[in-house]
Chains A and B, each alone.
Chain A
Amino acid sequence: MLRPRHRLHPYLFLAPTLGILGTFFLFPLGLAAYRSLYRWDLLTPPRFVGLAHYERLFSSGEILRTLTITLSYAAVVVSGSMFLGLLLALAVNRKGKFVAFVRSCVFSAYVVSWVSVALLWMWLLDADAGLVGRACKALGIGEAGLLTSPSTAIYALAGVTIWKITGFSMVVFLAGRQDIPEDLYEAASLDGAGPLARFVHITWPCLRPTTAFVGTTSLIVSFQAFDIVRVMTQGGPTHSTTVFVYAIYEHVLLNLRAGRASAMVVVFFGVLLLLTLVQLWAWRMGRRSR
């Protein structure tokens, strides 16, 4: 076992990372926690209000509403992008110029900026002039417009997000699929396994680490959602698309409430911490069962 020459050496090696984390993550978080106890509009002196912001956020139902919206959005985005990404990866896992072209097309959406994607889809989803909006209207979905109805707006945003990030999921799944030795498939075929059995017993188990990675990255993307909300719905209609990050932005910059926004930040951090713990627990359980 390696032993440091001096007991301070490990801390010196950790210092740059700790410094960055402390300066840009822990200090602002501590500051937000401190500010959340004050009523502050940036311009006038802060006034101590204790836990009033938290009491107000919970009693008004704002936290529950925002959490429900964020989790609904995240659930659709994570499951949709994983499912489609895997499906596309399996479909384009072959050689040929046409398949390479299709792969490039699907991935291209991922490199386009969120604002451009949002503007493009606002036009596509328009109930009167948009291709997708009109098609949905003809099918009886979102008569008034998918972005106009409080019951459909968040799913429309989730759909746009899936469209944008599925290319990334596809590429990662494709890399994972190409790492699986072909011998396994050949042996399974000789044993009489059909395509479905090969997928269930070889592809899916071998892709588990890839699936965990895709799931985590798309979860991060969905919890960071802001640009798409800002451009397409501004949190509306009737707060139906006010996800956590947008709610924080709205409080601090539009409603002039830095204190309440800070309380939202602390709660959001708590939610993310809880999700991380659940994820770690699931990962450890998965390793133990192997």
Chain B
Amino acid sequence: MTLQRRALLQSLTAAVFGSALGCSRDADRGSAQSVALWFSYGGKNREVLERMVHRYNQSQQGIRVLATFQGDYFEALAKLRTAIVARSAPVMSHVVGEVVPYLHEAGVLEPLDAYPDAQNLGLVPALAQVGTYTPTEPKPLVALPFNRSTPILYWNGAMLERARLSVPESWDELREAAKALTVRSNDRVSTWGLECPISWWFWVALMGQAGGEVMGADGYPLLGEEAGVEALQLWQRMVHEDKTMRPPPGRDYNAWQVTNQDFLAGRAAMIYTSTAFLRYLEEHATFPVRAAPLPGFRRRAVPTGGTFFVMMKSAPDHEKQAAWDFLRWMMQPEQTIEWATSTGYMPVASDAVARLEREGFYQKSPNDRVAMDQLKYAMPWPWAESLFRVQRECVDPRLEEAVLNRQDARSLLNEARKQALEDT
């Protein structure tokens, strides 16, 4: 009994001292400058980001980054815009590349040029703001690259070997490979040759391969002109004539998830999706996952994707200074290497790429090399305020109509162009 009482007293004493210590530690952290970061990753990418934020918070005492998940890219953007109006926006967020010009022209982004070392971050030009856009006049630095990607072709190594096929290099070879890989029984398809989300990013890749541009130098929405039509017609042929491509159900990132799941379940032999899913697909597949550059047509071309870190102009100065410290830390080679090797996104610091080359990372993981090699074919985005609206409102819905309803690609893109020129 006495022993039990003593044990109880000891436990209580320990608990009291423990909480006091905890409080003092919290008090120490309480003096740190808190800065909010809104992010849009789920799954593995979220785990990696949270791990890195935790490491940053542990590495110093003065700044505490509070990372909060806000849904997918589009949901997070909607929340960010609403928060800006409500004057409750975080100091930092990350946004898709297509929306950066709009946010800048709306005057909500903090120019970063004057921050310490802003000109000496050593970023890969094609992935940084400078190489991602083609502005007609110089623009201030408002966005730092974070999770940058390109679409790539993934294929089921086992299926491709069984069919004794080589990786398709052109649209014709892609169609032939998809025919050979599609498995039918009683007119029902158990494995589709190709699966690709019917979405802006992949259409831009095809349109670029056919020789088109999204916009002219004057900002006129070309939408690839004839090349845009050819891109849509490739999908229409593969879905309706060849019956070798499955357009995944759902819109936006829901369709991307279905594409990944079909690939992992062996229901699709080849898929077009982002480098972002490389590690996820490799870790979850029961077959060898192989990656390859997207096949070309008249030329090789690929858009860059992913997001940029941005800082809100409306945030207090002391928060912006603290946020800059975190952003600068994230741009360092160590961090970009950790992010890239844990996820599949591309390392955004030139030194990081050189170090990975030196250490033989790309020899050991050739799939990671694909996106980096493809960068030489990267198409810059036009710096147009309307770019995001053209994507979401004018083009995306019509891609679905062309492929699912098999409507005339040319007239749909004409409609999209007309709508893009409308002001209201």
Contact = CB atoms under 8 A, between A and B. Distances in A.
A80 interface: no
Interface string B84-122: 110000000000000000110011100000000000000
Contacts of A259: 424
Contact of B251 (A41, A235, A260): A235
A256 B424 contact: no
Given A128-B267, A254-B392, A237 B252 contact: no
A254 B424 contact: no
B401 interface: yes
Interface of B, secondary structure class, is helix
Nearest to A153: B249
A237 B404 contact: yes
A255 B267 contact: no
Interface string B349-368: 00000000000000000000
A257 B423 CA distance: 11
B397 interface: yes
B405 A150 contact: yes
A255 B249 contact: no
Contacts of B108: 43
Interface in B380-419: 388-389, 392-393, 397, 400-401, 404-405
Contact of B78 (A128, A148, A236, A253): A253
A42 B82 contact: yes
Interface string A140-180: 00000101111000000000000000000000000000000
A41 B385 CA distance: 12
A238 B400 contact: yes
B389 A236 contact: no
Contacts of B247: 148
A109 to B, nearest CB: 23
B250 interface: yes
B78 A254 contact: yes
B74 A254 contact: yes
Given A148-B404, A238-B405, A257-B393, 4 more contacts: A39-B423, A41-B81, A129-B265, A234-B252
Interface of A: 39, 41-44, 49, 52-53, 56, 128-129, 145, 147-150, 233-239, 253-257, 259-260
11 contacts: A43-B84, A43-B108, A53-B424, A147-B249, A150-B405, A233-B251, A237-B251, A238-B397, A238-B400, A239-B397, A255-B389
